[in-house]
Amino acid sequence: MQKSGQRAGRRRDGLSASVIVGAAIEILDADGEEALTFRALAARLATGSGAIYHYVANKDELLDAAAAELVGRIAGPSPAPAAADESVLALMLGVFDMINAHPWLGAQLSRKPWQTAILHVFESVGQRLESFAIPQESRFDVASALVNHMLGAAGQSAAGSRIAHGVGRSAFLKDVARDWTSRASPDEYPFVHAIAAQLAHHDDRQQFTAGVNLILAGVAALPQTGADRS
């Protein structure tokens, strides 16, 4: 609710990379990705815009650090030794939920798939894949498919909340549905019409889960694989 530039009381008490990244996350969360400018950031930190460059090389690196900070909070080492399926799904949903809580994160992750944040995700996914009996060469492929699924959903969520800001999610999806059905005739685009009807009242999270389960079911069907499903 609060807009930019409150709390201008700070001084040269201690500018640092982590303070800058923290402030950046606050701006991103409060007002969205377009609100993060070096001028706004400098104002919030009560310093000059040039000062930021002493700690961060450029805006790309700043966003990279902000994303890694958030993802690092959930993509840590495997927690409870649950069943492999549930463990992977829990991780995927953890990232999914975090993206939904911080819409700018989805855009950032899908824009730069080799950033630090993705490294964490890959590692976490990979470790949880250990308990599956996946042939060594396939392991990378499976992790990649899961990460792709996540990045795809991330971009979707980011784009959605970017536009739906204030309109409300279901109203936005209704708009998309209307746009699609009006742009495409039912004869030529039967599938899109069928989908459009479901769009407004479908559950993103559930659909994301279905996708993960589809991939995991495919893994179970892999040759040489007798995964230890619970």
Partner DNA sequence: ACCTGAACACCGTTCAAGT
Q: Which does 60 bind (CB under 5 to 8 A by kind): DNA, its own copies, none?
A: DNA
The CA–CA distances, whole Å, from 39 to 45, 102, 166 equal: 10, 22, 25
Structure tokens belonging to residue 158: 């980011």
30 binds DNA (CB under 7 A): no
The CA–CA distances, whole Å, from 220 to 120, 135, 217, 223 equal: 24, 12, 5, 8
Q: Are 86 and 230 in contact (CB under 8 A)?
A: yes
Distance in angstroms (rounded) separating the CA atoms of residues 53 and 59: 9
Residue count, binding to its own copies (CB under 8 A) = 61
By CB under 7 A, name the one of 5, 18, 39, 205 that touches DNA.
39
217 binds its own copies (CB under 8 A): yes
Q: Which does 211 bind (CB under 5 to 8 A by kind): DNA, its own copies, none?
A: its own copies
53 binds DNA (CB under 7 A): yes
- Chain centroid to CA 94: 10
Residue in the structure block whose two tokens are 């970017």: 162
Query: Which residues of the shown chain bind its own copies in the complex (CB under 8 A)?
Result: 77, 107, 110-114, 116, 119, 122-123, 125-127, 129, 138-145, 147-153, 155-156, 159-160, 176, 179-180, 183-184, 188-192, 194-195, 198, 202, 207, 210-211, 213-222
Query: Which residues of the shown chain bind DNA in the complex (CB under 7 A)?
Result: 11-12, 15, 36-40, 46-51, 53-55, 58-60
